[in-house]
Structure 1
Amino acid sequence: MTSTPEIFHYGEDHLTAGIALSISRGKTKGIISENTRIKIRKSADEVKAIADGDKAVYGINTGFGPLCTTQISKEETSTLQKNLLMSHAVGLGDPIADELAKLMMILKVHALAKGYSGVREETIDRIIFHIDHDVIPLVPEQGSVGASGDLAPLSHLFLPLIGLGKVKVNGKFVPADEWLRKENLSPIQLGAKEGLGLINGTQFIAAHAVSIIERLQNVLTHADISGAMMVEGLLASVKPFSPELHDVRAYKGTRHVAAFIRHLLNGSEVVHSHANCARVQDPYSLRCMPQVHGASRNAWLHVKEMLEVEINSVTDNPIVFSKDHTISGGNFHGQPMALPIDYACLAAAEVGNISDRRIYLSLEGDTPGVPKLLLKETGTNSGFMIPQYTTAALASENKGLCFPASADSIPTSLGQEDHVSMGSIAGRKTLRVVENVEKIIGVELFCAAQALDFHRPLKSSKIMAAIHEHVRSKIDHITVDGVMNEKMETAIEMIKNKELVRVAWETADAEGISLDTDFSSDFDSY
């Protein structure tokens, strides 16, 4: 993640996944400048003029979807918009994570502040109040087909603006009207097009993509680290990471992974101890890490690039360019993000697949000095046999989740929405796959640290030694069977908390070692 600004100007500045996360975590404050407020007021005035006129304009003085030809009187405008939020709040299932709901609000404010939606500044200011005070609306996880925007989740997100739905305050969900009374706030009386402007958009899909960007990037880096420890632990060759090999097949991700693993292992006595061994080549899960991890890196990079376009776009409908120029189009359709998110899902699952294969390799007992099942005394002890059952189960579960959600489409809205993206489903299941891969990489780390122990007193590189020492500060070397899941959970928490990445960079800084590659700026920032 790159350094983030202290102040971000909604509607003006360029938003990234990292900045959105920084705002959601209170490290960056999002504000609206006076110049942007002028644009917002102008757009709202133009929408009001349309609503007061006789010309039918979709969503402003007409019904929605199949009712687009039904004109609404100006007296009914506010009722129409309120009814829209209520009727579309049909989500089911568990509430999404607080951070996802907060990200949805941040992304929506940025889009509305561009001044093409006609939503009034007092409405936008109320959403910012929710963001700044951590008042999180309850948004069910199911119900969006990712086409006319994320209608159901966005409706739930903004029900509290009109005094309905629930909000989480201090860790508990309470009725929104109760919270408003406590804060001496009145419900918003929605103006023309405001309901439609609030719920048309791809912010549910995009918020999931923001989270995917952060968590998958962390998984990819930790996969390189745990894979490098397996290279040492299984006495694998470092020749497959040579730069000249990857210069003749010059994918960014492949070259980055190869260089990063070379840097991690540079100076390792363990690696140099078998430089002249008779083994010709290692199994693919070891020697093809640059190609496999690198391909997933490239997929991550593609999602990041697409997401930056998406979160700096206007995904409302209709788009109000002026009082006399509105276009009812399809900017709300989730397909541009649905496809790359499905790609990211597959990319994450493959990292888990190859990690599980390395775990299996570590148990075979074919590496000199490393006993079968990673335990010297077996027979009465099963050693590390069964943790691999768990990673096999997780890898298999991921395969079932890899069917692309975007390959499906079900008509809705009486045929008006006859092709939908299912990008919302892609986002939800990709996060689930990433979570499973976090667990697989944690188990690989658990096994790799055990394998590396058997090569002592040979020393690892400075960086790998520091990483191994950090693991051993929390998980002891295992000599006899015991309950392992707690140790596995500890390793997984190291992955989720980005601990080994921090250890690697802190050690590199202290030792004057560079971990940068030619493509670090692409893959280490978002």
Structure 2
Amino acid sequence: MTDSRSITFDGRALTIEDVCAVASRDARAELSRDPTFLARIRRGSDFLERLLREDGVVYGVTTGYGDSCTVVIPPEFVAELPHHLFAYHGVGLGRMLDAEETRAVLAARLQSLAQGVSGVSVELLDQLAAFIEHDVLPRIPAEGSVGASGDLTPLSYVAAALCGEREVLFRGRVQPAAEALAALGRAPLRLRPKEGLAIMNGTAVMTALACLAYERAEYVSRLASRITACNVLASAGNAHHFDEALFAVKPHAGQQRVAARIRADLAIESDKPAARNEQRLQDRYSLRCAPHVVGVLEDALPFFRQLIENELNSANDNPIIDGEREQVLHGGHFYGGHIAFAMDSLKNAVANVADLLDRQLALLVDTRYNHGLPANLSGATGPRAAINHGLKALQISVSAWTAEALKQTMPASVFSRSTECHNQDKVSMGTIAARDCLRVLELTEQVCAAMLVAARQGVALRCAQDDVVPGAALQAFQADLERRVAFVAEDRALDTDLIALLTAIRAREWTLHDHA
């Protein structure tokens, strides 16, 4: 835990940043002890229990699940039903969600249940909050959700862990959930009627992953703007392509912000490159149109935020238990269509940024287009230049990562499958879309790491060759890169540099301001 800040779960709206802060352990999660909030939670569970005593029929409480909703559960088995739900959904495969992703899932589920219309007990919320507080992380397989009827299979691993079953990561070791609970002096939860559905029948996994994807994409947008400025400088490009008056006549706000960032970064302290700029009146699209490409991502982010945060702050299970009006409302709030759309769209916009940077690097390493820089940005001179190949292989890897990112942009949401005896006959695929989006971000961050190596090399070569003095922002950025990455004078393996830069990107170590 790196911050004393706490985030209170009391039914009021949280932001993407709140979830990400809990996920990264930069903030504590606390369940509200406000009497009004706790009374609201209890009203729902009390109403449900009274309804059961009065022989009410409630889906998933006195009936089977899904297509089995026509099966009536004998009263003596009602208490066992929630445990059967997480038992038979223990069919997940694939990689396990990492620690940050798992914390985000727990936070997203707690936030939904804290809305007070899921019919759960305060004890369930307490157990979830304790898992976050003590960093008890259920081992959640990433694959097995179709994103409608919620993230049933992955969330079954949360439900099971709360009840002392399956495995968790706790204190640096994978161990049975029962052991972790015993170490904390907590008893396994015994789920009440509807609580299995409340935990599992929702969009917490896709929403959690969407929060993490959003924050990473926002940083990629800012970093791509800075990298583009470096590449314009290294390429002896035309800074007037980012003129304020030019962008005033096409007023996409995000596009204007990107142009403003690049324009501010290109404020130079020497006009010596001017003669070289005259070689080409207009730079190629990957430089000239960078604000138009990155700007699509920048302009889309506020819309995606709205979709993600609405889902985060919703009750998204079924049925809804309205303790105030004493109603049971059967519906389909577990459907993850909004997250699916946001993630399918976000991965498209991010992959386009990777493609933009890939094209910029292709110009930088090619002597036909880089305005006098050495081939492959090699720093070797004299007779040894013949055996050195600079960033040749790096450009190949960037091309591979970009191609894979672009391949991942096929929308997952159009691959709805009819499942579960045609009860779940139209599903969102939101969790697959979110996982795809994170993969595209991973690949794009790798492209960015490579571009930072190229920026360090290209800017140094241009400044030495043309006696250019960059503006303050790029000077500071270049100095930082020079501390991190040695100049490539002789060929060497760059993987260690790339891993270090990738770590820095994911830790957001560079403060990248708007300049707008």
Q: Which residue of 2 aligns with 1:439?
A: 446
2:328 maps to 326
Once the two structures are superposed, what CA deviation does each residue of 1:349-389 show, in whole Å capped at 9, x if it has no partner? 11100101111100112334411211254421112111000
Whether 2:496 is the aligned partner of 1:486: answer: yes
Judge conservation of contact 1:233–1:449 (CA < 8 Å) in 2: no
Deviations 1:54-73, CA, capped at 9 Å, x for gaps: 23221221111011122223
Name the TM-score, length of structure 1 as normaliser.
0.92
User: Cα–Cα, structure 1 residues 268 and 413, in superposed 2: closer, same or farther, change >3 Å?
Assistant: farther
Distance (Å, rounded) in 2 between the aligned partners of 1:270 and 1:419? 61
Aligned to 2:474: 464
How far is the alpha carbon of 1:85 from its aligned partner? Answer: 1.3
Per-residue deviation, residues 471-507 of structure 1 (Å, max 9, x unmatched): 001211111212222233333333223223x2x55xx
| Aligned residue among 422, 435, 446 for 2:429 | 422
In the alignment, the residues of structure 2 paired with residue 200 and residue 271 of structure 1 have an alpha-carbon distance, to the nearest angstrom, of 64
1:92-125 alpha-carbon deviations (Å, 9 max, x no partner): 1221011111111111111111110111001110
Seen in structure 2, the aligned counterparts of structure 1 residues 302 and 192 have a Cα distance that, compared at 3 Å, is same
Residue in 1 that maps onto 2:303: 302
Give the aligned residue type for 2:472: K
- Residue 5 of structure 1, CA deviation: 9.7
Matched letter for residue 210 of structure 1: C
Superposition pairs of residues 306-455 of structure 1, within 5 angstroms: 306-322=307-323, 324-365=326-367, 366-375=369-378, 376-377=380-381, 378-454=385-461, 455=463
Gap runs ≥5 in structure 1: 506-514, 518-526
Q: Is the 8 A contact 2:217 2:441 kept in 1?
A: yes
Taking a change above 3 Å as real, the CA distance of residues 498 and 274 of structure 1, as seen in their structure-2 partners, is farther
Q: Which moved more, 1:407-416 or 1:297-306?
A: 297-306
Please give the alpha-carbon distance, in whole angstroms, between the structure 2 residues aligned to 1:92 and 1:29: 29
Farther off after superposition, 185-194 or 372-381: 372-381
Paired with 1:135 and 1:20, the residues of 2 have a C-alpha distance of: 16
CA shift in 2, pair 1:5/1:292, >3 Å = farther
Given residue 127 of structure 2, which amino acid in structure 1 is its aligned partner?
R
Q: Report the Cα offset of residue 276 of structure 1.
A: 6.2
Instruction: Give the Å deviation of 1:234.
Output: 0.5
Separation in 1 of the partners of 2:7 and 2:405? 37
Deviations 1:423-478 (A, max 9, x none): 11111111011011001011111112211112234211101000000000121111
1:118-150 C-alpha deviation (Å, 9 max, x unpaired): 110011101101000001011011110000000
Shift of 1:406: 0.5
Alpha-carbon separation, structure 1, partners of 2:296 and 2:26: 34
Query: In structure 1, what residue type is equivalent to 2:132?
Result: I
Q: Distance in 1 between matches of 2:291 and 2:83?
A: 53
Q: Pick which of 386-395 and 52-61 moved more.
A: 52-61
What are the within-5 Å matches in structure 2 for residues 49-448 of structure 1?
A: 49-269=50-270, 273-274=274-275, 277-322=278-323, 324-365=326-367, 366-375=369-378, 376-377=380-381, 378-448=385-455
Q: Cα distance 1:270–1:51, how it changes in 2: closer, same or farther (>3 A)?
A: farther
In structure 2, give the amino acid aligned to 1:147: A
Q: Decide whether the 8 Å contact of 1:98 with 1:136 is kept in 2.
A: yes
Q: In structure 2, what is the equivalent of residue 19 of structure 1? A: 18
Aligned-partner SS, 1:320: strand
Aligned residues: 503
Calculate the aligned-residue CA RMSD, in Å. 1.8
**8 A Cα contact 2:340 2:433, kept in partner:** yes
Contact 2:110 2:128 in 1 (8 A): yes
Describe the SS at the equivalent of 2:421. Answer: helix
Moved more, 126-135 or 48-57: 48-57
CA offsets, 1:265-302, max 9 Å, x none?
22343686448624211010000010000012223332
Q: 1:419 to 1:169 in 2, by over 3 A?
A: same
**Structure 2 CA distance, aligned partners of 1:274 and 1:347?**
35
Percent pairwise identity: 30
Residue type at the aligned position of 1:202 = T
Inter-partner Cα distance in structure 2 for 1:516 and 1:230: 18
* TM-score normalised by L of structure 2: 0.94
* Aligned equivalents of 1:191, 1:470: Cα separation in 2: 56
* Structure 1 equivalent of residue 40 of structure 2: 39
**Alpha-carbon deviation of 1:404?**
0.6
- Structure 1 distance, partners of 2:61, 2:221, is 46
